[in-house]
Amino acid sequence: MHATLEQLQRLFLWLFVFSGWLVIIEPAPYEVLFVITLLVHLSGGMVATVFSAPLIVFATLYNIGGFLSAMQVVENASRAFTFVIVSTYMAVTAVFFSMVVAKDPMRVIPVIRNAWIVAAVIASINGMIGYFDIAGMGDVWAPIQRAQGTFKDPNVLSTFLVTPAILLIQGFMLGNQKRPILSALALLIILAGIFLAFSRGAWAVTAGSVIILAGVTFMVTPHAGLRARIILLTIAGFLAAAALLAFLLSFASIRNMFMERFALLQPYDAGETGRFANQMRSLPMLLTRPNGFGPFGFAAIFGEDPHNVYINAFSAYGWLGGLSYILLIVSTLHAGLRAILTETPWRDYAIAFHAPLVMLILQGLQIDTDHWRHFYILTGVTWGLFAASEMYRLRGGRWASPSTA
C-alpha cells in the first residue's frame, strides 16, 4: 500500500509540473492539479523542517502586506484582492515544493526534471507553430510576431523554457545524459523556442544560467577530467549556438525581428514617460506611502506596470511586502549557495536549479516576475534542497528520508 501511494504521489507531481505548458486559460490545469497533488502528498509525501522557516515567514509577511495594500483600493477592489490571492497561492506552491523536495530529493527531483523538460518541448513546439503561422495559428500563438504558444506572454514562455534547457545541458556536461540523441533534439527544440520568443531578458537569463552552471560546476568538482570536459563542451556549446544563430538569421523575417529586439533600449524604455522614468518618479511617492499604491495602482498612476518586481513589491504590497520580498530573495540566494557548497548526492541538482533562479532574480529588475509559476517552482526547489542539505550535514553525510530516519 505504501508503494502504491508513493507511485500515486509521483504521478500527480509529474502531471502537476507537466501541466505548466498550458497556462493561457484560467483557471489553468496547473491550479486544479496542484490541489489534487497537495491532497495526495498530505499523507507522508512532504516534510516540514525549521530550515524552510524563512521561506514561510517572508512569503507570509509579503502577502499580508499585499492584503493590507489592497484594502485601500476602492475601484476594482475585487480585482485587487484577486491579485493578492493569486500571489498567496503562488507562495503556497513554493512551500509545497520545498516540503516535497526536502522529503527525498533524489526521488523527487528526477520527477520534476522529466516533467518540466517534456512540458518545455511541447510549449516550444506550440510557440514555433504560432511563430511560423502553421495551420493558421499565428494570430493565437504569436499575436505580436513572437513565439508565445499557450502562454499569455512570450517573456513568460521563454523564461519557463530556460530551466529545462539548463537541466539538459548539465546532463551533457556531466556525461550522464540518458537517451542523448532524443535529449539533444529536445534541447534544440527548447533553445529554438527561447530564441523565437525574442525576449531580451530570456536570452540574458539563458546565457547567464549556462555561465553560472559551467563556472560553479568547474569550481566545485575536484576531478581534472570533468573540468577539461566542461571547458571543451562550453566552447563547443557556444560555437554550436553561434552556428544555430547564424542559420536562423539567414531568414529575413527572423533577422529583422532579432535586430529590432536586440537593441539595448526600446522606445518604451526611454523618455520622460518611459519605463525607467516612471520607475524613478515613483520612488519619492512610495517613500511617503507605507501601504504603497495597491495592486495595479502603479499602472493607474503612470499608465503601465512598473516592469520591476522590486518596485512592484513596494507598490502593490506596501512597505511590509516590499521589505519581506527583499528578505525572501536574499535568504533564497543564501539557501541556494549553502546547498551548492554542501557536498551531497544532489549537489548537481542544486547547481542546475539555482543558476536560472539567480538570473530570474536579476531579471526582476526589468520585468514583473511575482506571478510567474516557474519562479516559485525554482524558489521552492531551492529551499527544499537547502533543507535536505542541512539535514544531510547534521547527520554527518548520511541520508535517509526524514520520515524514516
State the amino acid at position 189 in one-letter form: I
- Give the count of beta carbons closer than 10 Å to the beta carbon of residue 326: 15
Mean pLDDT (the chain) is 92
Residue 205, pLDDT above cutoff 90:
yes
What is the reported pLDDT for 26? 81
Mean pLDDT within 368-376? 95
Dist. CA 143–CA 138, nearest whole Å: 6
Look at residue 154 and tell me whether its pLDDT is greater than 50: yes
* Residue-level pLDDT at 270: 57
Give the model confidence (pLDDT) of 67-86 as tens digits: 999 999 988 899 999 999 99
pLDDT at residue 273 is higher than 90 = no
Q: Name the residue type at position 289.
A: R
Boundaries of every domain in the chain: 52-394
What average pLDDT does this structure show over 131-140?
94
What's the pLDDT at 354? 98
The helix/strand count (H/E) of the chain reads as 16, 0
- State yes or no: pLDDT of 329 exceeds 80: yes
How far is CA 11 from each of CA 8, 30, 97, 102, 264, rounded to the nearest angstrom? 5, 14, 15, 18, 43
**pLDDT > 80? residue 355:** yes
Q: Please name the residue that has the C-alpha cell 504558444.
A: 149
Exposure string of 151-177, with b = 16+ CB inside 10 Å and e = fewer, is bebbbbbbbbbbbbbbbbbbbbbbeeb
User: Bigger pLDDT: 96 or 44?
Assistant: 96
Q: Which of 59, 82, 68, 88 is nearest to 293 (CA)?
A: 68
> Which is nearest to 347 in space by CA: 190, 163, 210, 217?
217
pLDDT of the residue at 1: 45
Grid cell digits, residue 95 = 512551500
Reported pTM = 0.93
Residue 102 has pLDDT above 50, yes or no: yes
Per residue in 230-240, pLDDT (tens digit) is: 999 888 888 88
Contact predicate 344/388, CB 8 Å: yes
The C-alpha atoms of residue 185 and residue 137 are separated, in whole angstroms, by 23
